[in-house]
A and B are shown apart, each in its own frame.
Chain A
Amino acid sequence: MANGMNRISWLGTSPRNAFMLAGLVALLVLLPLFLGQSWLSITTEMLILALAASSLNIMLGYTGMVSFGPAGIYAVGAYTTGVFMEKLGIGIVPAVLAAPVMAGIIGFLVGWICVRRSAVYFALLTLAFSQIIWTVVFQWYSVTGGDDGLVSVPVPDFFFEITNCYYFMLAVVSVCLFIIWKIVNSPFGMTLQAIRENPNRVEFIGVNVKHYQLASFVISSVFLGIAGSMHCVFSGSAFPDYAYWVKSADMLVICLLGGIYNFFGPLVGTVVYTVLTKVISEYTMHWHLVLGGIIVLIILAMRKGVVGTLANYWANRKSAAA
């Protein structure tokens, strides 16, 4: 590991992965039996956040595009569902389905401009666009409710029962994650990873890098839109904060914490981040400071994120034993 390289493991379809996945699903299905209402609600939020982070990671970890603006697209999803239901009186099914479509369209327009610029400019442009989205949401009172947000989205009663809501989110998030998993492990996903590794070289194997980066941006946006929409359904509300850069920073930190070169990185990152937040905020008012410190420590100690580091550790132990 002297030169900082490591195997990018857990991307494949080995039996061990399938086994672990089955165990995880069983645990999640049984979870409402063990958890109280408030932790179940927190877990539901974690599912949504994990989807958002995994969506971001299609760009970040798989394509090597550092976006500072995922929250903007996430908010597009949340507000599409919220506005459709609260302001336009449209039913929940079309309102939810419209979210990824709208997020995909906005993602296409934003992405089309952003991929024209590389690296630093790309990051800054995504930040700028998310702030534009935030401003629009914040100012457009008649439609978005401005800084009051949308607070009475007429979500069906079914979702008020947290167990129902949990299972619904579990289903939606699982399906989405499965699709993302298929995508990143496909030939298309391999092409994205080649772009991450060396965008210049990829041009010389016949790949139009900008097209693929845009595709990655749009796919990421679609799933961010679903995550946003799910949060709107979960909370019956939508606020300008959803689009704020702090939310983007949360998602980035979650990916880095868990490890961006692993499919499971953002998922584990979500759990670590959420649990840390909840636990620390019970002990001190200055939890942001403490949390920041702990995150810095974890990221410094585990450069490949929690999952990447553990996977490395296991791989090394296995090769030592062999």
Chain B
Amino acid sequence: MMLLEAKGISKSFGGLSAVSEVDLVIGKEELVSIIGPNGAGKSTLFNLITGHIRPDRGTVLYKGEDITGRKPYDISRMGVGRSFQKLNIFPRLTTFQNVQASLFSAKKINRNIFADSCRMLGDEVEDILESVGLGGQSETLGGLLAHGDQKRLEIGIALALNPELLLLDEPTQGMSPGETVETTELIRGLVRARHISLAFVEHDMSVVFGISDRINVLHQGMLIFSGKPEEVKANEEVQRIYLGKSEK
């Protein structure tokens, strides 16, 4: 059974069809990427899967269960973590607290009203920060971290949920080439070490072709191709629509 199966999901904004009739599958421990030109509907697709937006049509199955139209907090509790294209952290909490807040929720102790939260779950939080390359920055306010570090913190917040499926929307966006390589390694490492499934949206083709088990190509809201990196390279339609253009 596939971990995630989106069947014919569609979403229009006004007259614009942002995502149409997309069938997306993500297998267990699979590392898939989603590529496509700006406005292709990649972020919208993530928003449909994670409950941020309700699809107009189609169903989303997670572990065989229909999660279409469920609330984001329900879906994330089921083990779907995500990061966002635009920085989306808790700016005036420390880096430590950013991850800790997420961990409290994952462990369902965020209803505990009297325990002193100060260093609670400290080791686990530090481990997660370490694993995303933010060790030693615990006490810095999230909003004061460098851009690339905030992107990594996003991943840390999502990881604290202990997800089985992780969706990362442009994780290397705005990063230096060096940081991009680190983040690529991080993503590959996560899938291997934690045995999770991961889908990411990415514009950097070296990253995409470097680590994807399978590449999904979106174009004008439609999934026009899904296959192994070699197959994508060989596909003429994909080359014409997308890859050709992105070689600057």
Task: Write the residues of chain A forming the contact surface with B, with a CB cutoff of 8 angstroms.
Answer: 3, 5, 7-8, 12-13, 182-183, 185-191, 193-194, 197-198, 200-209, 261
A191 CB contacts on chain B under 8 angstroms: 101, 104-105, 110
* B248 contacts partner chain A, Cβ-Cβ < 8 Å: no
Q: Is the CB of A186 within 8 A of B112?
A: yes
Contact of B91 among A12, A197, A200, A206 (CB under 8 A): A197
Stretch in contact with the other chain, from B15-23, B69-77, B182-190:
B69-77
Q: Is the CB of B50 within 8 A of A204?
A: yes
Cα distance A183–B82 when bound, in Å?
29
Cα distance A193–B142 when bound, in Å?
13
Q: List 12 A–B pairs whose Cβ atoms lie within 8 Å, in order of A's numbering.
A: A5-B91, A12-B118, A185-B117, A186-B116, A188-B112, A190-B104, A193-B93, A201-B157, A204-B50, A204-B52, A205-B76, A207-B73
* Residue with the highest number of chain B CB atoms closer than 10 Å, among A13, A185, A201, A207: A201
* B161 contacts partner chain A, Cβ-Cβ < 8 Å: yes
B109 CB contacts on chain A under 8 angstroms: 187
In the assembled complex, the CB of A203 is this many whole angstroms from the nearest CB of chain B, namely 4
B102 CB contacts on chain A under 8 angstroms: 205
Q: Is the CB of A189 within 8 A of B117?
A: yes
Q: Is the CB of A208 within 8 A of B71?
A: yes
Q: What is the total of A-B residue contacts with beta carbons within 8 Å?
A: 109
Q: Is the CB of B88 within 8 A of A201?
A: yes
Size of the B side of the interface (Cβ < 8 Å), in residues, is 42
Find the B residue at minimum CB distance from A8: B92
Interface class of chain B by DSSP: loop
Task: Write the residues of chain B forming the contact surface with A, with a CB cutoff of 8 angstroms.
Answer: 50, 52, 71-73, 76-77, 81-82, 84, 88-93, 97-98, 100-102, 104-106, 109-118, 120, 141, 143-144, 157-158, 160-161
A190 CB contacts on chain B under 8 angstroms: 93, 97, 100-101, 104, 110, 117
* Residue with the highest number of chain B CB atoms closer than 10 Å, among A13, A183, A188: A188
Q: A5-B141, A188-B112, A197-B91 are in contact. Are A204 and B76 (CB under 8 A)?
A: yes
In the assembled complex, the CB of A313 is this many whole angstroms from the nearest CB of chain B, namely 17
* Residue with the highest number of chain B CB atoms closer than 10 Å, among A191, A193, A204, A208: A204
In the assembled complex, the CB of B199 is this many whole angstroms from the nearest CB of chain A, namely 15
Q: Is the CB of A197 within 8 A of B90?
A: yes
Cα distance A13–B79 when bound, in Å?
33
Q: A187-B104, A204-B50, A205-B101 are in contact. Are A194 and B93 (CB under 8 A)?
A: yes
Q: Is the CB of A13 within 8 A of B73?
A: no
Q: Is the CB of B118 within 8 A of A207?
A: no
Find the A residue at minimum CB distance from B115: A186
In the assembled complex, the CB of B144 is this many whole angstroms from the nearest CB of chain A, namely 6
Find the A residue at minimum CB distance from B120: A187
Cα distance A198–B142 when bound, in Å?
12
Contact of A198 among B88, B105, B144 (CB under 8 A): B88
A186 CB contacts on chain B under 8 angstroms: 112-117
Q: A187-B112, A261-B92 are in contact. Are A205 and B71 (CB under 8 A)?
A: no
In the assembled complex, the CB of A158 is this many whole angstroms from the nearest CB of chain B, namely 32
In the assembled complex, the CB of A318 is this many whole angstroms from the nearest CB of chain B, namely 13
